[in-house]
Structure 1
Amino acid sequence: MNRKILQIHPLDNAIVALSDLDKDEVFEINGESIQLLESIPAKHKFCIKDLSPGERVIMYGVTVGKAQSFISKGALLNTINIKHDSADFELKAGNFNWTSPDTSAFENRTFLGIYRADGQVGTANYWLVIPLVFCENRNVETIREAFLEELGYAKPNPFKNLVRQLVQQTQSKEAASEQFFEKPYTNSPSSDRIFENIDGIKFLTHQGGCGGTRQDAEMLCKLLAGYIHHPNVAGATVLSLGCQHAQATILQEKLAELNPEFDKPLLIFEQQKEGTEEQLLQKAITATFYNLTRANAIIRKPAPLSKLRIGLECGGSDGFSGISANPVLGHVSDLIAGLGGSAVLSEFPELCGVEQDLINRCINAQKAEKFAALMRAYSSSAEAVGSGFDMNPSPGNIRDGLITDAIKSCGAAKKGGTSPITDVLDYGEYVKEAGLNLLCTPGNDVESTTALAGAGCNIILFTTGLGTPTGNPICPVVKVSTNNRLAERMPDLIDFNTGPIISGEKTIPQMGEELLELIIQIASGQKSTKAMDLGQDDFIPWKRGVSL
């Protein structure tokens, strides 16, 4: 195999540059000699045949764009000479046969999980403190300040000493030397945790709950119910003002829908009933503390890998995402499906162009119809405000080779592997089926990871080619690099590097099995993710408006 270029599918007329290519370099592809007419940056694509205006650009064996002008063989494909285009899809019966990858190495493996009364198994043991409405955000922050330092959960801030020394230097009128800035700054470590079996107290804030539509408030309650019901959560403290749209009764109804036998500690405090803020906070903090002592009695026990629910996400994607990191997640997804666990593929704007393949993989017509309806409704809502899925790629995506939404989508869909699709979930719905699930979310990183956790995923795998700090309050987010350069440049963010696939040192199945080994460690609480180390607790509910 030529390690400088890659034709992903035999039908492709767009070829990926695996490294920077020089003008006039010559390659033989499908028995034909191709001379480059210009330099091709790594991750970008060039054409291997002349294309007239209107002709299709093919990658991954499907349409990913349309020529806007005449494109010569050997020319760079860019946002000027091609535009987004994708094939339409239809609901049609078909026989889908799937052979699971070899799972024998993992058949009897376990992780140390947190068993809940309803049969779910978590990968962590958290307590939640959440507001039903943005009016309570300040009170949530006050509780945070009271708890974290005293209970040993506060993370050291390495920059406090830096600021202190800068102040001292200013006061003494001494200029900072270059050597001063070369020194690392660390703060004293936090004290030992009081509750050794509780992995953290997580404080969520948001801007919803009132002032929007009633549907937005109801959806927020549904999402928060998913977080409270989540296997990684031992219980929750909920602050309510009292008069907002997102009422505590709605939250309780949504919890009952998820589990009629819900029995976790749920502490609800309504400010307009409690009196002063001091009275509210004293009651909330005291009750939370005593329930933390109960949650601390829960210990980890061996659990089969079938209890894993893996969220599949990408963000800061690049031109290598679809050929390294995303296929590795796809292999992990197939392994998990073969072992009886669940995998969840999100980001519907990034499934544009691969709908037919996903429809063909649905286990029945009902699932296929739901997926098609959600995709068409989402696309129509974007078009209604003058946008569209074609506007999904970010400037960073485009700069690094993802020049149409279909190119981005075909690579993004690789995270879902090849297994049958057992269920299709709308936003806010919870995972019920083993196997591969599709979850309707935006492509926005945090809105999507927020939804994956709310759907019950107990680990999220997140691929990136450009780098992103994204994490989640209750669900470990494993950051997977698409290339060596990123892993070397941002080691504080990256947990796993699939760059050796690009260089030809390792295969996708090899790296998939290595990643699953890391997942088992993280799920057992034996290893933390970089986002956890940084305290990156991102939480953004989707209001169901147009977000790509």
Structure 2
Amino acid sequence: MTEQGGIVAGVIVLDQADNVAVARAEIPAGGASGLAGIAAAQTIPSGHKIATRPIAAGESVLKYGQKIGLAKCDIAPGDHVHLHNLAMQDSDVGHDFCSDLRAVDFVPEDQRRTFQGYARPDGQAGTRNYIGIISSVNCSATVSHAIADHFNRHGGLDGFDNIDGVVALTHGQGCAIGTDTEGYQYLIRTLHGYARNPNFGGILMIGLGCEVNQISLIQEKYGLKDGPFLRTMTIQQLGGTRKTVEIACGLITEMCEALRSVERTEQPLSKLKLALQCGGSDGYSGISANPALGHASDLLVRHGGTAVLSETPEIYGAEHLLTSRAVTTDVAQKLIDRIDWWEGYTKRHGAEMNNNPSHGNKAGGLTTILEKSLGAVAKGGSLPMQAVYEYAEPIDQTGFVFMDTPGYDPVAVTGQIAGGCNMLVFTTGRGSVSGFKPVPTIKVATNSRMYSHMDEDMDIDCGGIVTGSQTIQEAGEAIFEMVLAAASGHRTKSEIYDYGNNEFVPWQIGAIT
């Protein structure tokens, strides 16, 4: 909320310029809104918008002090403002590069927080200690799962208490694709990124043998060499599935033996890369959990860490709030270039940027992608944007950065983890339940009703911001503390239930031949 806004009885007014407010709870038709002289003309569901003054047909509807769409017809004070009377409009925001830069108030180095992590030979630090099995092609997926099951479900990890598990990273790609295409480059960049993610103590790469996506080509391109903690094999070379499973289980057992003595040690937050995500958003996302995560993001950066925002289609119409914070015009322009790419990409496929929000987003009170984006960008806090990365590129800058990804959560998170993220905070208003091995996932509820209803899946409740019992800063500090605890070994809800085995989804674009 802005300094001018606040909670007014039954609604939340976000900015004095706004002509809508957000209902804190359902307001029945004829019920008082808490705004002087305004009663609800229709039932206003929780998290939905109510008009605070007359809005003429064709006039912009304002929320957060920003345009979120055009009125389809005349809207009277007290009217429910949603899909029936609010239309998408083209984003017409100006891009004032680097105009809102503010110095980072870094915490003195001797006062910075730390976490207990696993030091890796390449200088990174893991928050977990998994073994990863990377399939080069869908044809080796079944074998990869059989190997993982031996360890996770049939006692293969007995006695290896410091190994968190064996993760089979399988996908539907790897063949019938040109090696000079953008889609192929995304795939191999993702596989390489997972192979070097610090939450893996060891990696086994498995192919079929005859596929386009040859493991040897990935190794050659990225300088990956076989050794005690990186082993490679193909099913055809080893003589079939059963022999491959048997040999692979022996190699992973050797890795586990070699990792037996690895322990957590104190690590600086400069070795923590936090993925920022939202999914199953609602009308409260941009009011409670997302700005709270933004505050936590700022805290992490001030302590020397890195926060990674993504989901390019979900900043559409709000990208000016990021370009104004870019450290250079080149960084700002790179973000605009990716927005332009997405506009062309959706047009080529007969889609549009406003295909997002989803059904659940709309049921929760979001109407247009402009409205959703303005809430989503709040996860990125307020500090300078140091870099913009393409999908799955290695994140080599500390501070707040952006990665170009789709808005589809599994694909977006896969790119962030491939980039090096070793922690994830996922805000949700409708109740997303994903985990993302090998990275611990903290799920943050935007409202207390959903948190109570799905408490076995949610880690933090930010609903107090909506009711006024908690500030954004207080909630942000709670998220920051849980990030450090989870990074040091505290298990999140998705980890307790062993979720996260199916969310490895590399971005698939281009022709499959």
Report the equivalent of 1:247. 214
The one-letter code of the counterpart of 1:34 is: I
Aligned partner of residue 34 in structure 1, secondary structure: coil
Report the equivalent of 1:496. 460
CA gap 1:213/1:44 in 2 versus in 1, 3 angstroms: farther
Aligned partner of residue 303 in structure 1, secondary structure: strand
**Residue segments in structure 1 that go unaligned for 5+ positions in a row:** 154-192
TM-score, normalised via structure 1 length: 0.87
Aligned partners of 2:51 and 2:133: how far apart in 1? Answer: 54
Q: How does 1:507-526 map to 2 (within 5 A)?
A: 507-525=471-489
Residue 80 of structure 1 is aligned with which of 59, 84, 103? Answer: 84
Report the equivalent of 1:34. 38
> Are the counterparts in 1 of residues 387 and 402 from structure 2 also a CA contact under 8 Å?
yes
Report the equivalent of 1:531. 494
Aligned partner of residue 35 in structure 1, secondary structure: coil
Residues 463-489 of structure 1, C-alpha deviations (whole Å, 9 max, x = no match): 011112111121111100011111111
**Residue segments in structure 2 that go unaligned for 5+ positions in a row:** 1-6
The one-letter code of the counterpart of 1:230 is: N
1:301 aligns with 2:269: no
CA gap 1:283/1:7 in 2 versus in 1, 3 angstroms: same
Q: How many residues align?
A: 501
1:210 aligns with 2:148: no
CA gap 1:93/1:443 in 2 versus in 1, 3 angstroms: closer
The one-letter code of the counterpart of 2:498 is: G
RMSD over aligned CA atoms reads 2.2
Residue 65 of structure 2 is aligned with which of 28, 51, 61? Answer: 61
CA gap 1:75/1:203 in 2 versus in 1, 3 angstroms: same
The farther-off stretch of 319-328 and 95-104 is 95-104
Q: How does 1:425-436 map to 2 (within 5 A)?
A: 425-436=389-400
The one-letter code of the counterpart of 1:283 is: I
Aligned partners of 1:489 and 1:14: how far apart in 2? Answer: 28
1:543 aligns with 2:508: yes
CA gap 1:502/1:210 in 2 versus in 1, 3 angstroms: same
CA gap 1:532/1:254 in 2 versus in 1, 3 angstroms: farther
Aligned partners of 1:67 and 1:301: how far apart in 2? Answer: 57
Q: How does 1:242-391 map to 2 (within 5 A)?
A: 242-256=209-223, 265-391=229-355
The one-letter code of the counterpart of 1:234 is: G
How big is the shift at 1:447? Answer: 1.1
Residues 54-111 of structure 1, C-alpha deviations (whole Å, 9 max, x = no match): 1101111111111111111221111121112253245544433325578589934221
How big is the shift at 1:21? Answer: 1.5
Residue 373 of structure 2 is aligned with which of 409, 413, 427? Answer: 409
Report the equivalent of 1:8. 14
Aligned partner of residue 171 in structure 2, secondary structure: coil
Residues 352-390 of structure 1, C-alpha deviations (whole Å, 9 max, x = no match): 111111111110011111110011111211122221111
CA gap 1:19/1:102 in 2 versus in 1, 3 angstroms: farther
Aligned partners of 1:312 and 1:137: how far apart in 2? Answer: 29
The one-letter code of the counterpart of 2:18 is: D
Report the equivalent of 2:201. 234
Residue 189 of structure 2 is aligned with which of 214, 222, 229? Answer: 222
Aligned partners of 1:102 and 1:10: how far apart in 2? Answer: 32
The farther-off stretch of 365-374 and 446-455 is 446-455
Aligned partner of residue 72 in structure 1, secondary structure: coil
1:17 aligns with 2:19: no
Aligned partners of 1:60 and 1:79: how far apart in 2? Answer: 18
Aligned partner of residue 401 in structure 1, secondary structure: coil
> Are the counterparts in 1 of residues 57 and 71 from structure 2 also a CA contact under 8 Å?
yes
Report the equivalent of 1:163. none
CA gap 1:485/1:254 in 2 versus in 1, 3 angstroms: farther
The one-letter code of the counterpart of 2:217 is: I
Residues 138-197 of structure 1, C-alpha deviations (whole Å, 9 max, x = no match): 1112212322234466xxxxxxxxxxxxxxxxxxxxxxxxxxxxxxxxxxxxxxx42122
CA gap 1:507/1:368 in 2 versus in 1, 3 angstroms: same
Identity score, percent: 33
How big is the shift at 1:211? Answer: 2.1
How big is the shift at 1:262? Answer: 9.5
The farther-off stretch of 417-426 and 15-24 is 15-24
1:132 aligns with 2:136: yes
CA gap 1:442/1:136 in 2 versus in 1, 3 angstroms: same
Aligned partners of 1:106 and 1:12: how far apart in 2? Answer: 44
> Are the counterparts in 2 of residues 15 and 47 from structure 1 also a CA contact under 8 Å?
yes
Aligned partner of residue 188 in structure 2, secondary structure: helix
> Are the counterparts in 1 of residues 98 and 328 from structure 2 also a CA contact under 8 Å?
no
How big is the shift at 1:255? Answer: 3.4
The one-letter code of the counterpart of 1:281 is: V
The farther-off stretch of 530-539 and 420-429 is 530-539
Aligned partners of 1:475 and 1:481: how far apart in 2? Answer: 19
Q: How does 1:472-483 map to 2 (within 5 A)?
A: 472-483=436-447
TM-score, normalised via structure 2 length: 0.93
Aligned partners of 2:28 and 2:142: how far apart in 1? Answer: 57
How big is the shift at 1:20? Answer: 1.3
Report the equivalent of 1:162. none
How big is the shift at 1:52? Answer: 2.0
The one-letter code of the counterpart of 2:282 is: D
Aligned partners of 1:272 and 1:545: how far apart in 2? Answer: 28
Aligned partners of 1:101 and 1:509: how far apart in 2? Answer: 16
Report the equivalent of 1:200. 165
The farther-off stretch of 417-426 and 381-390 is 381-390
Aligned partners of 1:99 and 1:39: how far apart in 2? Answer: 46
Aligned partners of 2:382 and 2:211: how far apart in 1? Answer: 45
Aligned partner of residue 479 in structure 1, secondary structure: strand
CA gap 1:529/1:255 in 2 versus in 1, 3 angstroms: farther
> Are the counterparts in 2 of residues 220 and 246 from structure 1 also a CA contact under 8 Å?
no
How big is the shift at 1:306? Answer: 2.7
> Are the counterparts in 2 of residues 330 and 418 from structure 1 also a CA contact under 8 Å?
yes
> Are the counterparts in 2 of residues 126 and 474 from structure 1 also a CA contact under 8 Å?
yes
The one-letter code of the counterpart of 1:242 is: G
